[in-house]
Protein backbone atom coordinates (compact mmCIF):
# COMPACT_ATOMS: atom_id res chain seq x y z
CA UNK A 1 0.00 0.00 0.00
CA UNK A 2 1.38 3.37 -0.96
CA UNK A 3 1.25 6.42 1.25
CA UNK A 4 -1.50 7.97 -0.90
CA UNK A 5 -3.70 4.87 -0.58
CA UNK A 6 -3.37 4.93 3.24
CA UNK A 7 -4.85 8.44 3.46
CA UNK A 8 -7.83 7.65 1.19
CA UNK A 9 -9.67 5.13 3.36
CA UNK A 10 -13.47 5.08 3.27
CA UNK A 11 -15.24 6.46 6.33
CA UNK A 12 -18.39 4.47 7.08
CA UNK A 13 -18.91 5.10 10.80
CA UNK A 14 -18.33 7.83 13.37
CA UNK A 15 -15.53 5.74 14.90
CA UNK A 16 -13.88 5.50 11.48
CA UNK A 17 -14.05 9.28 11.21
CA UNK A 18 -12.18 9.65 14.49
CA UNK A 19 -9.51 7.18 13.35
CA UNK A 20 -9.21 8.88 9.96
CA UNK A 21 -8.85 12.36 11.45
CA UNK A 22 -6.32 11.10 13.98
CA UNK A 23 -4.29 9.60 11.14
CA UNK A 24 -4.30 12.97 9.40
CA UNK A 25 -3.50 15.01 12.51
CA UNK A 26 -2.53 13.37 15.78
CA UNK A 27 -3.76 16.36 17.82
CA UNK A 28 -6.61 15.01 19.99
CA UNK A 29 -8.44 18.36 20.22
CA UNK A 30 -9.02 18.37 16.47
CA UNK A 31 -10.55 14.88 16.68
CA UNK A 32 -12.92 15.98 19.47
CA UNK A 33 -14.07 19.04 17.56
CA UNK A 34 -14.65 17.17 14.30
CA UNK A 35 -16.59 14.28 15.87
CA UNK A 36 -18.69 16.67 17.97
CA UNK A 37 -19.64 18.69 14.88
CA UNK A 38 -20.99 15.55 13.21
CA UNK A 39 -23.07 14.60 16.26
CA UNK A 40 -24.56 18.10 16.67
CA UNK A 41 -25.84 18.24 13.08
CA UNK A 42 -28.52 15.61 13.77
CA UNK A 43 -32.08 17.06 13.68
CA UNK A 44 -33.58 17.76 17.09
CA UNK A 45 -37.21 16.78 17.65
CA UNK A 46 -39.05 19.71 19.25
CA UNK A 47 -41.58 19.15 21.99
CA UNK A 48 -44.86 21.08 22.31
CA UNK A 49 -44.84 23.86 24.93
CA UNK A 50 -48.15 24.00 26.80
CA UNK A 51 -49.18 25.41 30.18
CA UNK A 52 -51.34 23.70 32.83
CA UNK A 53 -54.51 24.74 30.97
CA UNK A 54 -53.35 23.21 27.66
CA UNK A 55 -52.59 26.57 26.03
CA UNK A 56 -49.52 27.64 24.07
CA UNK A 57 -48.11 31.15 24.22
CA UNK A 58 -46.54 33.34 21.55
CA UNK A 59 -45.37 36.95 21.47
CA UNK A 60 -45.75 38.88 18.22
CA UNK A 61 -44.28 42.25 17.28
CA UNK A 62 -44.78 44.61 14.34
CA UNK A 63 -43.83 48.31 14.13
CA UNK A 64 -44.65 49.63 17.64
CA UNK A 65 -47.25 46.94 18.45
CA UNK A 66 -46.77 44.01 20.81
CA UNK A 67 -49.25 41.13 20.95
CA UNK A 68 -49.44 38.44 23.62
CA UNK A 69 -51.25 35.41 22.19
CA UNK A 70 -52.57 32.21 23.77
CA UNK A 71 -53.78 29.34 21.55
CA UNK A 72 -55.78 26.28 22.61
CA UNK A 73 -57.87 23.70 20.74
CA UNK A 74 -61.36 25.00 20.05
CA UNK A 75 -63.82 26.23 17.46
CA UNK A 76 -61.88 29.04 15.76
CA UNK A 77 -62.91 31.93 18.00
CA UNK A 78 -60.45 34.86 18.12
CA UNK A 79 -60.69 37.37 20.98
CA UNK A 80 -58.57 40.55 20.78
CA UNK A 81 -58.47 42.75 23.89
CA UNK A 82 -61.80 41.32 25.09
CA UNK A 83 -63.61 41.84 21.74
CA UNK A 84 -64.34 39.58 18.78
CA UNK A 85 -61.90 39.98 15.90
CA UNK A 86 -64.65 41.52 13.71
CA UNK A 87 -65.38 44.20 16.28
CA UNK A 88 -61.75 45.09 17.03
CA UNK A 89 -60.42 45.04 13.45
CA UNK A 90 -62.98 46.61 11.12
CA UNK A 91 -61.17 46.12 7.81
CA UNK A 92 -61.32 42.85 5.91
CA UNK A 93 -57.59 43.09 5.12
CA UNK A 94 -56.76 43.07 8.84
CA UNK A 95 -58.93 40.00 9.33
CA UNK A 96 -57.19 38.26 6.42
CA UNK A 97 -53.79 39.09 7.92
CA UNK A 98 -54.80 37.67 11.31
CA UNK A 99 -56.16 34.42 9.83
CA UNK A 100 -53.22 33.77 7.46
CA UNK A 101 -51.41 31.30 9.80
CA UNK A 102 -54.53 29.10 9.91
CA UNK A 103 -54.95 29.07 6.12
CA UNK A 104 -51.25 28.35 5.61
CA UNK A 105 -51.21 25.38 8.00
CA UNK A 106 -54.71 24.08 7.17
CA UNK A 107 -55.95 24.55 10.74
CA UNK A 108 -58.94 26.83 10.11
CA UNK A 109 -61.48 26.58 12.95
CA UNK A 110 -59.37 24.26 15.10
CA UNK A 111 -57.90 26.75 17.61
CA UNK A 112 -59.34 29.38 19.94
CA UNK A 113 -57.14 32.45 20.23
CA UNK A 114 -57.11 34.93 23.10
CA UNK A 115 -54.74 37.85 22.76
CA UNK A 116 -53.93 41.25 24.17
CA UNK A 117 -52.29 43.80 21.91
CA UNK A 118 -51.03 47.29 22.66
CA UNK A 119 -49.17 50.07 20.91
CA UNK A 120 -49.17 51.28 17.31
CA UNK A 121 -52.10 51.43 14.92
CA UNK A 122 -54.49 48.81 13.65
CA UNK A 123 -52.24 47.58 10.79
CA UNK A 124 -49.28 47.14 13.10
CA UNK A 125 -51.47 45.41 15.66
CA UNK A 126 -52.85 43.02 13.03
CA UNK A 127 -49.31 42.14 11.97
CA UNK A 128 -48.28 41.63 15.61
CA UNK A 129 -51.26 39.34 16.24
CA UNK A 130 -50.39 37.29 13.12
CA UNK A 131 -46.80 36.92 14.30
CA UNK A 132 -47.99 35.92 17.79
CA UNK A 133 -50.48 33.39 16.43
CA UNK A 134 -47.73 31.83 14.28
CA UNK A 135 -45.45 31.47 17.28
CA UNK A 136 -48.22 30.08 19.48
CA UNK A 137 -49.19 27.51 16.82
CA UNK A 138 -45.54 26.48 16.48
CA UNK A 139 -45.29 26.05 20.26
CA UNK A 140 -48.50 23.99 20.31
CA UNK A 141 -47.62 21.82 17.31
CA UNK A 142 -43.91 22.01 16.33
CA UNK A 143 -44.55 20.15 13.04
CA UNK A 144 -46.22 23.31 11.69
CA UNK A 145 -42.95 25.29 11.81
CA UNK A 146 -41.72 24.51 8.24
CA UNK A 147 -44.97 25.69 6.62
CA UNK A 148 -45.09 28.86 8.74
CA UNK A 149 -41.39 29.55 8.17
CA UNK A 150 -41.72 29.12 4.41
CA UNK A 151 -44.64 31.57 4.35
CA UNK A 152 -42.52 34.11 6.26
CA UNK A 153 -44.73 34.27 9.35
CA UNK A 154 -42.12 33.21 11.89
CA UNK A 155 -39.82 36.11 11.05
CA UNK A 156 -40.45 39.43 12.76
CA UNK A 157 -41.01 42.22 10.23
CA UNK A 158 -38.38 44.68 11.41
CA UNK A 159 -39.54 47.61 9.26
CA UNK A 160 -40.56 50.65 11.26
CA UNK A 161 -41.01 54.37 10.72
CA UNK A 162 -37.84 56.21 9.72
CA UNK A 163 -36.99 59.07 12.05
CA UNK A 164 -37.34 62.72 11.06
CA UNK A 165 -34.09 64.53 10.25
CA UNK A 166 -33.15 68.07 11.22
CA UNK A 167 -33.70 70.60 8.43
CA UNK A 168 -36.22 68.43 6.58
CA UNK A 169 -40.03 68.45 6.67
CA UNK A 170 -40.26 64.71 7.27
CA UNK A 171 -37.79 61.81 7.22
CA UNK A 172 -36.79 62.51 3.60
CA UNK A 173 -39.00 65.39 2.38
CA UNK A 174 -36.92 68.51 1.75
CA UNK A 175 -37.95 72.09 1.35
CA UNK A 176 -38.73 73.01 -2.24
CA UNK A 177 -35.68 74.24 -4.13
CA UNK A 178 -35.97 76.85 -6.88
CA UNK A 179 -33.19 77.21 -9.46
CA UNK A 180 -33.97 80.90 -10.19
Neighbouring residues of 98: CB distance < 8 A, sequence distance ≥ 6 = 78, 85, 89, 126, 129, 130, 133
DSSP state of 142: G
Does 63 lie in the same domain as 145?
yes
The span from the CA of 35 to the CA of 115, in Å, is 45
Quick check: is 159 in a domain?
no
Angle at which helix 28-40 crosses helix 14-24, to 10 degrees, equals 150
Q: Going residue by residue through the chain, which has 180 residues, state the pLDDT in tens, using 9 for 90 and above.
A: 565 555 555 555 555 555 555 555 555 554 444 555 555 555 678 888 888 888 899 999 999 999 999 999 999 999 999 999 999 998 999 999 999 999 999 988 899 999 999 999 999 999 999 999 999 999 998 998 999 999 999 999 999 999 999 999 999 999 999 988
Does 138 lie in the same domain as 68?
yes
108 closest CA partner among 96, 117, 121, 99: 99
148 CB burial (10 A radius; 0-12, 13-18, 19+): buried
CATH number of the CATH domain containing 95: 3.30.230.10
Does 140 lie in the same domain as 75?
yes
Q: How distant, in Å, are the alpha carbons of 1, 55, 73, 112, 168 from that of 109?
A: 68, 16, 9, 8, 49
Does 107 lie in the same domain as 26?
no
Does 69 lie in the same domain as 146?
yes
**Domain that residue 85 falls in:** 56-150
Strand partners, 34: none
Q: What is the pTM of this model?
A: 0.72
Quick check: is 78 in a domain?
yes
Amino acid sequence: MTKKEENTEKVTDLKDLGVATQAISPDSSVVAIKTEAVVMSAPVEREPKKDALGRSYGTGRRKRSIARVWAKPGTGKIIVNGKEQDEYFGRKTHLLVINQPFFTTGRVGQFDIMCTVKGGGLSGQAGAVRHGISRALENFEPSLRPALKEAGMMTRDSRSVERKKIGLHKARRMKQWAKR
